[in-house]
Structure 1
Amino acid sequence: MCGIVGLFLKNKALEPQLGRLLAEMLVTMSDRGPDSAGIAVYRSDDRDKAKITVQSAAPDTDFPGLEDALGTEVQVIDTHAIIVVPQDRADATLARLRSDHPGLRIMSSGTAIEIYKEVGMPQSVADRFEIPALAGTHGIGHTRMATESAVTTLGAHPFSTGADQCLVHNGSLSNHNRLRRRLARQGVSVQTQNDTEVAAAYLTHRMQEGDDLGQALKAGLTDLDGFYTFVVGTRDGFGVLRDPIACKPAVLAETDEYVAFGSEYRALVNLPGIADAKVWEPEPATAYFWSH
């Protein structure tokens, strides 16, 4: 099952409402996936600073002292924390987190992205991390029904495998283990057994090799075997791709103020101006992308 939502704002006046609108859309999809949920929000984009989002299963012991240990700003939000460092220290900080703080799980990194995900229903996740209060330019969300891996925080979507990149997925890949081994030979590793993380890593690798998102998505039509709907976030926008059979439900809506995606139309019905939106089902094997 699983439920996906996405919202890309064209009108800057709507940016203070991004978190509220996105959370409402995701909560509407709750019955498509009751075990875990997550949201990626693209917020302030300071190109001189990097934000690293981490999660801890034991925040009461892992987070105290982290600010002093890293010598930088740390904002704790329930089981997650946002670590802000100068851009030129991002790679070194990520390496230090992996080596010195094994209890912390890296959710995302980049100049704009923040990912919040946990086991539980979308309403619970939205409340825990105060998602409705977040402003931003665009975001994507996912509520999960686990079919291919355990119900854990790391198994929840979105998955981020590159700076300011993330992916959510409804469907199943049949060749993810073979693709995982192929990526490993190319120096690309993933943290979980989830097939969605393999898809995210594949797209990140393609873009690191020179593809733009549209080219990477089109290449995936050949390399990714299975049935799927992907919604992908980048620093500048988001994209949608369905497999050539397109058996998973998907709806897009566009107005002069936003582009919205939902696994079902009911996720979009409370958006402002939806009655006048262009609404359509995305075509199979067709990459859609919007950017600022």
Structure 2
Amino acid sequence: MKVARFSKNGKILLGVVDDASGTIHPLDSHLTSMADLIRFSASGSTFKTGSRPGLPLSDVKLMAPIVPERNIFCVGKNYYEHAKEFAGSGFEAGAVKGQEIDAYPAIFSKPPSTVTGPDDVVEMHPEATQAVDYEAELAIVIGQPGRNIAEADAMQHVWGYTIVNDVTARDRQRNHKQWLAGKGLDTFCPMGPWIVTADEIDGANLDIECKVNGELRQKANTSNLIFKIPQLIAAISAGLTLQPGDVIATGTPAGVGIGFTPPRFLKAGDRVEITISGIGSLSNAFA
């Protein structure tokens, strides 16, 4: 099931997307927050569309499928080739040749103010950075809460999947010697177009592609993740309770702007489109 958050006539609603007909069917009116819907669903309750007919997707504005109630958990350097291109780019503070692959996942966060929706414009923030980069990523949405989750039990806590673009100011990431400063700028986390529930797709085997102005830059499969989804959930939940609606971005494959010589950073007017099999596409212009 594809569950989306959208606006129509000034109202923000939730709905179930029907790809075949290109329509979205609004849910019962008492379910207006995706986080509340996830809690409702994760508790064993079922939700259904209301009596209203489906609306053409072309007649609604899709929004980020969830407004996180706290920071988004993110994972860095989680594909082998990207870890190598990052270490060799000169933008990773403290990079050591021959030690590109970490023993533990690199975990950081992006504040909720970074989140923006499909087809929204991502701000370039020229007053703060001159090195804006793109990162196509599969994101996990947590359903069942838990702390100290064992890898063997981790997938029971996954409610669904969506797409994020972990937009990064590379100069700030390098200069500040940590990642929040480069990752946390307003609108730096486009998300969408919806959440696909975990019963529909296998997060361990999804194709990822990223195009900039139609040019293919990134192409990989989530089977190539260094730290798999259960490992990430176990690592992040160690001593920290994951809550329904928490979002975990799993890392980006090779092909980002810093992987080129010279680097190919985004410029105003560029459009980045990310496609993940079984989910759909997320497209945003930069300005």
**Please, what TM-score do these two structures have when normalized by structure 2?**
0.27
**Please, what TM-score do these two structures have when normalized by structure 1?**
0.27
